[in-house]
Amino acid sequence: MIRRLYDWTMGLAGHPRALWALAAVAFIESSVFPIPPDVLMIPMILAMPWRAFHIAAVATVASVLGGLLGYAIGYGFMDAIGRPVLEFYGKADKFEDLAARFNTYGGWAVLVAGVTPFPYKVITIFSGATQLSLPLFVGVSVLARALRFFIVAALLWKFGAPIRDFIERRLGLLFTLFVVLLIGGFYATRYL
């Protein structure tokens, strides 16, 4: 089953509308979707290494735009839903303290979440909820997402054939590692 999924993804990577699919996944992953764009980006670069940096640029732009949607969700729904719930439980003052601390170090949080497997969408929504400076949020998001996607693109562009061979020979192991990282990211979001 994993082999069929891999073959399907590699086939999709060569499709004429693959960049649009990548842009859509990168956009919604930054605000609500749990699957990272790397799942599509990596096979696309392996299938078309000469377009590696173009693919990384599309993923970066779409991800930052999706991050703005996440920011808007946090900004809009915090006032509409989050604040009344906090007030009902008498915790509104605690949120203000947390928001102040987050805004002091929020740029670092955006950078870490944008580069690592930590779910970026959590930080985009929280940035809006705490009203982190929008120019700071956008600037750090561009830097973080570009770092993440362009480093992956450069490595695949440089070492693509051996990496593709490695992936195809150890597909089950890599899939298991991906699932562990995905679950670990959700665990970190929930408990840290």
- Structural contact between residues 30 and 124, judged by C-beta atoms closer than 8 angstroms: yes
Q: Give me the phi and psi of 35, to 5 degrees please.
A: -95, 125
Residue 122's nearest CA partner among 180, 175, 185 is 185
User: Rounded distance, CA 160 to CA 165, Å?
Assistant: 9
User: Rounded distance, CA 9 to CA 18, Å?
Assistant: 10
User: Rounded distance, CA 28 to CA 34, Å?
Assistant: 9
Decide: pTM greater than 0.85. Answer: no
Digit-by-digit pLDDT tens for the chain (192 residues) are: 556 655 666 666 667 788 998 998 899 988 887 778 887 888 888 888 899 999 999 999 999 999 999 899 889 988 787 677 667 767 667 777 778 877 887 888 888 778 776 778 888 888 888 889 999 999 999 999 999 899 889 888 888 767 666 665 665 666 677 667 767 766 665 665
Dihedral, CA atoms, 141, 143, 149, 151, nearest 10 degrees?
A: -150
- State the residue for tokens 């979707």: 33
Chain-centre distance of CA 157, in angstroms? 21
